Amino acid sequence: MDILITGAGSGLGRGTALGLARAGHHVIAGAEIWPQVRALRDTARREGLTVEAIKLDVTDETDRAAALRHRVDILVLNAGVQEAGAVVEIPMSRVRRSFEVNVFGHLHLVQGFAPQLVGRGAGKVVWVSSAVGVRTRPWVGVYAATKHAIEALAWAMKGELEPRGVRVATINPGPYRTGYNDTGVEAMDQWWDGSSALLDRPDLSDYLANQDDPQEMVDEMVRVIPAAHHPYRTTRPEGLRERLREFEAQVWDAGT
């Protein structure tokens, strides 16, 4: 099975790309920068894995065009950036960048690969969303907004493409210790100025200290992505599905 995954240069994407290859799939692993590409190739070579590592910055038109030359059975839209900060203060340049990577770059890819998938009447598109695609939290509102957009696009695509034989699903990880969330919080240091800030900066150290081991999420992604049958939305860690449902009920009942 030919599986293309974006954001395979680090974190859950890298672990999943290598895990899928170990399971016997032909993996086209898209990484944002060349050092990540070379690192993936070195790892695959050492382990004897079938990984075709390519440079794929999803915001780069040339990179996307090169990726579209590949045949894929499953397209996994995993690349992402996270920017913490209050919605009323985070620089608009950061907001735009978040949407360009998390949403627009992937939508370009989906539209590019859709003709071959629909033409064959088979295949799958997997959007890697997040727990905050359902449950929004203070200080990650912009990131959550991009994931909410992904949820809307994926659900609409499910109704549009599944009658043509192309399945659509989401994966919604909770907080895992890959460095991704830590980077998202630290990114505030680039622009936050306590002397002029409208809001006090939150202490997110407990959140970062209590992240889960990413291997369980990688293992679940490796299982679900190529599976013939699985739920539309895959969540981990255990219990997250129930917490997301509780959050949705809380929003309906909240006052102002």
Enumerate the active-site residues.
143
CA atoms within 13 A on the CB side of 79: 31
Taking alpha carbons only, the member of 9, 253, 238, 236 closest to residue 129 is: 236
Q: Per-residue DSSP letters for 149-211?
A: HHHHHHHHHHHHHGGGT-EEEEEEE--BSSSHHHHHHHGGGGT--TTT-SSPPP--HHHHHTP
CA 52 to chain centre: 20
**SS3 of residue 35 by DSSP:** helix
**SS3 of residue 235 by DSSP:** strand
Residue 46 and residue 54: Cα distance in Å, rounded?
A: 17
- Rounded to the nearest 10 degrees, what angle do helices 141-161 and 92-99 cross at? 30
Residue 227 and residue 158: Cα distance in Å, rounded?
A: 17
**SS3 of residue 33 by DSSP:** coil
